[in-house]
Structure 1
Amino acid sequence: MPVIGRWKALLDDRNRFFWVLQAAGWLGYALVQYIGSLMHEMRDVYILIILLGAYAGFLLTVPLRYLYRRIWDSPPWLLVLIVLAAAYFSASIWAVIDNATYWEIYKFGFRPENNWFYFKNTLAKFYIMLSWSGLYFGIKYYQMLQDEKQKALMATSMAHQAQLKMLRYQLNPHFLFNTLNAISTLILIKENDLANKMMSKLSSFLRFSLDNEPIKKIPLAREIEALMLYLDIEKVRFDERLNVDINISDEAQHALVPSLILQPLIENSIKYAIAKLEEGGEISIQAERLADELVVVVADNGPGIEKPSQDLIRSGGVGLANTRDRLQALYGKSYSFTLSSNGPSGMRVEIRIPFEQVEVS
């Protein structure tokens, strides 16, 4: 397992993480005590005194962990009182053990003339116990905040995915209704071959739609393939009246885009441009990379737009507003979705998103 993976596994296992910190902390305490003893002339046996003191501190702080876990949800004033009392009680026991090992092992049973030394040692141990308690609560509180942050991120991610799925799946019934209505019309006028051809294309398109998650991105080349399935369906309806010009740069073909992001734009052009022209019309699709952006343009030569672009998006049915909302959900502020006139006539939709390239094998 890589080093980063091991550290992540350690951090995720709270119990193991505590024991690692506990052991490392008290070893560090012993090391600091030893370095401090080098400033004085101490016998080698003093190392044993240091190790016994660190081991006593290690053992006495273990019960504090379980006590603090039980009182975690107590009122602040009660929590402080219990921590102070527990820290002083543990410090007193530690000081007794420390004094016994020091005076019996190192001083061979000699005792100081007054009790001030004992009090100072207890006070020093009390500060150490308070420091240990502060570190425990600090780390515990930090872990709790991280858990809450992780839960919030997961909830946001799930809501984000649900929103994207909802936006994508809004399009399928809309498109399906229009296509089935067209097939029904072909059957009524006895154009059974065309109806069958249209149904076959519809089946292929829907299979593509179901095979690609709405929250995932796909290469633009695959998006164009799906778009051609849709256009094949529409060409059955419009025959020679629908012309399509596609101009995608080699670099742009490998760029990642939201799946089926262009279909509603094409559908909008067919509905408001091609369908209204007796002689038919043309839809052009262009895509290229400009600096760190992918620029995709869908344009038609229909009647054009008379309303401001924002009003047009709001009144343009599901397609335009849906596309804008999907881009906003995926890219935040790092996108551009603009509608403008396409001279000499028609409408032009331009999408700018960050350029993300699929790895080419």
Structure 2
Amino acid sequence: MSRWYKWFESNERLFWGLHTLGWLGLAIIYYIGSFLNDPRPIFLFIVLLNSLAGWVLTVPLRYVFQHSRQYSLVKMALTILAATYAVSLLWAVARNFHYWEIYKHGFRPEELIYYFHGTINAFVIIGCWAVLYFGIKNYQMLQKEKQNALTATTMAHQAHLKMLRYQLNPHFLFNTLNAISTLVLMKENKTAEKMVSRLSDFLRYSLDNDPIKKVPLGEEIKALRLYLEIEKVRFDDRLNVQWDVSEKCEQALVPSLLLQPIIENAIKHAISKMTGGGAIEISAKIFGHDLLLDVADNGPGAKIKNGQLKRENGVGLVNIRERLHSLYNRNFAFTIEHNQPQGVRVRIRIPYEVKERNDAE
């Protein structure tokens, strides 16, 4: 099936294929309709000869019609009508010639007007050919315009996703480099060196993954562990991370670096505010056809209104909501609520998707 589809993708092949099938089909219909009147092979020969003449005479119409698109609407219509009538006239003469000279073995009428008999009938058939030609051509142009519009929309959508995804990098880099700078000023060079090494590994993962494509949650968790190792250099034992992710969830596809801004937000507004440190819980569960992701902290909490944090200049969480909307339209949930007994909990629901086998091949 795909081979035939590819064969017809070429306009040239499509034209010659449909052009030949159309005239062959007309010959078959005409012969079947007149078979009872004359079943002799000579009649079949005449029918095929007439179709061949129509096949040959209508080929130039294609190029006349293509050239006429450059004209104004009125001039184009007049050109199409004139060319169609001229070809109809020639085809009528050819059919009558075949009839009198071959079928009737030279027994012809004395008046030449008989050679133009059936011109109206020929004009109707050639007119149908012209209508089909323009119908198919306009349909192709419409499909091409739709495809171009879809391509443009897709490219704009991908560009938007890339912008949202890469917007996280300078935001994260600023915080990390600021921490490294602080360590250097405090002459904690070994700690700073360790942070630079972890940062290098994390950025390599970030740059190696296409922002448009989704990644397995297992790979995302590896990247999160790299990020948390960077933060653990800063907070040491003050940062406690608890994981609750089943093996089946690790196969689920998620947008790359989806949870990192949430964890960064929890560290900045919860862990860093607590003298004795705090904990972050990260969990992933499958419920029906959905993947449920939770990130919770036990920090001092925050003001939440209508499922949104009431903080100014926040980039990460707003960014996540826009990315989810771009990827899943309305088939997602992103809520922020108070954790119990204290802290903030972020919940995400997205469709449960796994990588198909042929995607990996």
TM-score above 0.5, yes or no = yes
CA distance in 2 between counterparts of 1:351 and 1:83 reads 61
Matched, 1:108 2:111: no
Structure 1: where are the runs of 5+ without partners? Answer: none
SS, match of residue 250 in structure 1: coil
Matched, 1:258 2:255: yes
AA aligned to 1:179 is T
Contact 1:305 1:340 (C-alpha < 8 Å) held by counterparts = no
AA aligned to 1:38 is F
Matched, 1:13 2:2: no
Contact 1:313 1:321 (C-alpha < 8 Å) held by counterparts = no
Match of 2:303 among 303, 306, 320: 306
Contact 1:298 1:348 (C-alpha < 8 Å) held by counterparts = yes
After superposition, the CA RMSD in angstroms is 1.9
| CA drift at 1:313 | 7.1
Contact 1:304 1:345 (C-alpha < 8 Å) held by counterparts = yes
Q: Could you tell me which residue of structure 2 aligns to residue 214 of structure 1?
A: 211
Q: Could you tell me which residue of structure 1 aligns to residue 222 of structure 2?
A: 225
CA distance in 1 between counterparts of 2:5 and 2:323 reads 34
- After superposition, residues 123-142 of structure 1 pair within 5 angstroms as 123-142=120-139
Deviations 1:39-84 (A, max 9, x none): 3234220111111100111011110000100112433333222222
Give percent identity, aligned residues only.
55
Ranges of 4+ aligned residues in structure 1 off by more than 6 Å: 113-117
| CA drift at 1:9 | 2.2
AA aligned to 2:101 is E
Match of 2:151 among 147, 150, 154: 154
Evaluate the alpha carbon distance shift between residue 313 and residue 32 of structure 1 in structure 2; reply closer, same or farther with a 3 A threshold: farther
CA distance in 2 between counterparts of 1:278 and 1:133 reads 83
Q: Could you tell me which residue of structure 2 aligns to residue 40 of structure 1?
A: 37
- After superposition, residues 73-92 of structure 1 pair within 5 angstroms as 73-92=70-89
SS, match of residue 309 in structure 2: helix
Match of 2:188 among 187, 191, 196: 191
CA distance in 1 between counterparts of 2:252 and 2:286 reads 9
| CA drift at 1:119 | 5.9
CA distance in 2 between counterparts of 1:200 and 1:172 reads 17
SS, match of residue 248 in structure 2: helix
Contact 2:96 2:116 (C-alpha < 8 Å) held by counterparts = no
AA aligned to 2:93 is V
Q: Could you tell me which residue of structure 1 aligns to residue 264 of structure 2?
A: 267
SS, match of residue 68 in structure 1: helix
Matched, 1:347 2:322: no
Contact 2:307 2:337 (C-alpha < 8 Å) held by counterparts = no
Contact 1:302 1:346 (C-alpha < 8 Å) held by counterparts = yes
Match of 1:240 among 237, 251, 256: 237
Contact 1:34 1:47 (C-alpha < 8 Å) held by counterparts = yes
Q: TM-score, normalised by structure 2?
A: 0.94
CA distance in 2 between counterparts of 1:359 and 1:50 reads 55
Structure 2: where are the runs of 5+ without partners? Answer: none
AA aligned to 1:233 is I
AA aligned to 2:303 is E
Deviations 1:276-316 (A, max 9, x none): 11111111111111111111111111122323146527736
Q: Could you tell me which residue of structure 2 aligns to residue 319 of structure 1?
A: 316
AA aligned to 2:122 is K
| CA drift at 1:115 | 8.5
Q: Which moved more, 1:12-21 or 1:304-313?
A: 304-313
Contact 1:71 1:79 (C-alpha < 8 Å) held by counterparts = yes
Q: Which moved more, 1:132-141 or 1:149-158?
A: 149-158
Evaluate the alpha carbon distance shift between residue 359 and residue 39 of structure 1 in structure 2; reply closer, same or farther with a 3 A threshold: same
CA distance in 2 between counterparts of 1:219 and 1:286 reads 15
SS, match of residue 11 in structure 1: helix
AA aligned to 1:129 is I
